[in-house]
Amino acid sequence: MSAASGVRQHTARDLQAYGRRYGIDYRVPALVSREEEPVMRGVVRELSLGQGMELVTSDVEVLHRYDSHSHAPSPLSIVVMLEGRAEVSLEERTLTLTPGMALSLRLDARHGLHATQPAGQRLRALTLGLSESRLAELGPALPDHGGSRMHAWRPPSALLQGLEQAMATPLPAPAQRLLLEGLGLQLLAHGLPQPPARNDPPADADESTRLAPRERQRLERVRAALEQDPAAEHRLEALAELAAMSPASLRRKFRAAFGVSVFDYLRDCRLGLAHDYLSRGFSVQQAAHFCGYRHASNFATAFRRRYGVPPSSLTKAC
């Protein structure tokens, strides 16, 4: 996936070539692993911003689920999700990266990042990487998050808006590079590990890292129920019973574990299912009904917000 000026299709072969350059192992479904069928379609750009910073921006439609494992050392990488979601895990910690979230990562040969990108979604994200020399200039001993190599955080809304605008309406090349360099420095300023205040709890003492393994297993049961039957009329009380928690605990702990509320997750599952139906030639009304929406107008509004296009655009393309 070299720098691209327009929309193109990316096959399993393209992913493997990209992986060889960046130290990433990709896994794609067997049905597309030996064929020229695209795994995703869209625009991927790689930019050198100077000052030891590299930026990769992606705006793609994921056609087939794919998994990746980063095995090359990275002194510091910052990933920002603008649209879409990905399941990521590092060492013993797993979370769902959702729109508006960022990850600061420190990787070595023994600690690689696993990520899964589900199919049927538009994925807009960017990754800022720092060289060892650039990181050394920032301080000889940067604090970490209680030993954690992965720190989830939320960039300020103004910074997210700036990143959105830079990706949506790029400036001419010289000005765009300056703009992205400035935004990259802002990301770095917010994404660097910060020392905890004297009386603050350790930075990794958030809800997600304090979940007991059995609690996470019960939350996974809830997530599986939503994914397996998104069209069902799921009620919070019944889901809480499945998790052996109170409704309030489920709301809090589900968000801590997966970065999104229970019913926002359900909505994403429904819209992903609808995207699949539309891609297979079903009508907007049928897709809305099959994924649990009672009114096609509500479905169309949610679909446009999620994917940036009306659902009818997929039926016309079929």
CA angle 142, 210, 130 (to 5 degrees): 25
Cα separation, 303 vs 311, in Å, equals 6
Global pTM?
0.62
- Which numeric CATH code is attached to 211-317? 1.10.10.60
Q: Using one digit for the tens of pLDDT, what is the confidence trace for 55-114?
A: 999 999 998 889 998 878 888 899 999 888 888 888 777 777 888 888 888 887 777 888
pLDDT value at residue 126: 93
pLDDT value at residue 317: 55
Instruction: Report which of 163, 153, 161 is spatially closest to residue 105, judged by C-alpha positions.
Output: 153
Distances (CA, A) of 163 to 76, 187, 214: 19, 10, 38
Cα separation, 316 vs 225, in Å, equals 32
> What is the pLDDT confidence band of residue 316, given thresholds at 50, 70 and 90?
low
pLDDT > 90: percent of the chain:
21
pLDDT value at residue 197: 45
- Per the DSSP assignment, residues forming a β-bridge with 59 are 43, 124
Instruction: Report which of 28, 110, 99, 104 is spatially closest to residue 70, judged by C-alpha positions.
Output: 110
- Cβ neighbours of 211 (radius 10 Å): 17
Q: 2 pLDDT exceeds 60?
A: no
Cα separation, 59 vs 4, in Å, equals 11
Percent helix, percent strand, percent coil in the chain, to nearest 5: 40, 25, 30
Q: Using one digit for the tens of pLDDT, what is the confidence trace for 128-161?
A: 998 887 777 765 444 444 445 788 888 888 888 8
pLDDT value at residue 31: 60
Distance, first Cα to last Cα, the chain:
27
State the span(s) of the chain assigned CATH 1.10.10.60: 211-317
pLDDT value at residue 55: 92
The DSSP call for residue 112 is -
Q: Taking the mean position of all CA atoms in its chain, how far away is CA 189?
A: 21
Q: Using one digit for the tens of pLDDT, what is the confidence trace for 118-133?
A: 888 889 999 999 888 7
Cα separation, 268 vs 258, in Å, equals 13
Q: Taking the mean position of all CA atoms in its chain, how far away is CA 158?
A: 19
Q: What is the mean pLDDT of residues 6-25?
A: 84
State the span(s) of the chain assigned CATH 2.60.120.10: 8-191
Cα separation, 151 vs 144, in Å, equals 9
> What is the pLDDT confidence band of residue 261, given thresholds at 50, 70 and 90?
confident
Q: Using one digit for the tens of pLDDT, what is the confidence trace for 218-241?
A: 998 998 899 889 999 999 999 999
> What is the pLDDT confidence band of residue 193, given thresholds at 50, 70 and 90?
low
pLDDT value at residue 209: 46
Q: What is the mean pLDDT of residues 155-178?
A: 85
The dihedral built from the CA positions of residue 272, 273, 279 and 281, taken in this order, carries a sign that is negative
> What is the pLDDT confidence band of residue 1, given thresholds at 50, 70 and 90?
very low
Q: Which CATH class is domain 8-191?
A: mainly beta
The DSSP call for residue 283 is -
